[in-house]
Structure 1
Amino acid sequence: MGNSPSMALDMITTLDQLAELLDRRPCLFVRWSADPEADQSRPHSADGLTGAELPGLSANPLAVEPWWGSRSTVLWVARRLHDYSHLKRARAHGARPWVLEGEEVGRGPDNEPLVARPVAVALIDKQVLDQAESLLKHDANGEWGPLGREGG
Structure 2
Amino acid sequence: MPTIGSLDELAGILADRSGLYVRWSMGPAADLPAPASRDELTGIELPGLSANPLDVEPWWGDRPLPTWAARRLYDYSHLPRVKDRRVRPWLLHGRECGRGPDNEPLVADVEPLGWIGAEVIEEALGEVARHNDSWGSLDRRR
Interval of TM-score (by shorter of Structure 1 and Structure 2): over 0.9
Deviates more, 1:103-112 or 1:92-101: 92-101
Offset of 1:121 from its aligned partner? 0.7
Segments of 4+ in structure 1 off by > 6 A?
A: none
- Out of 18, 31, 44, which is 1:39 matched to? 31
Q: Which one-letter code corresponds to 2:136 in the other structure?
A: E
Aligned to 2:98: 106
Identify unmatched segments of 5+ residues in structure 2: none
Offset of 1:89 from its aligned partner? 2.1
- Out of 14, 19, 30, which is 1:22 matched to? 14
Aligned length: 141
CA distance in 2, matches of 1:143, 1:88: 24
Offset of 1:149 from its aligned partner? 5.9
Alignment of 1:69-148 (within 5 A): 69-141=61-133, 143-145=136-138, 148=140
Q: Deviations over 1:9-61 (max 9, x none)?
A: 22100000000001111220000001111112221101111111100000000
Q: TM-score, normalised by structure 1?
A: 0.86
Identify unmatched segments of 5+ residues in structure 1: 1-8
Q: Which one-letter code corresponds to 1:128 in the other structure?
A: V
Q: Deviations over 1:89-144 (max 9, x none)?
A: 23233101000111101000110000012110111000000011112211233633
Aligned to 1:53: 45
Aligned-pair Cα RMSD in Å: 1.5
The DSSP-based 3-state class of the residue aligned with 1:140 is helix
Q: Is the 8 A contact 2:19 2:95 kept in 1?
A: no
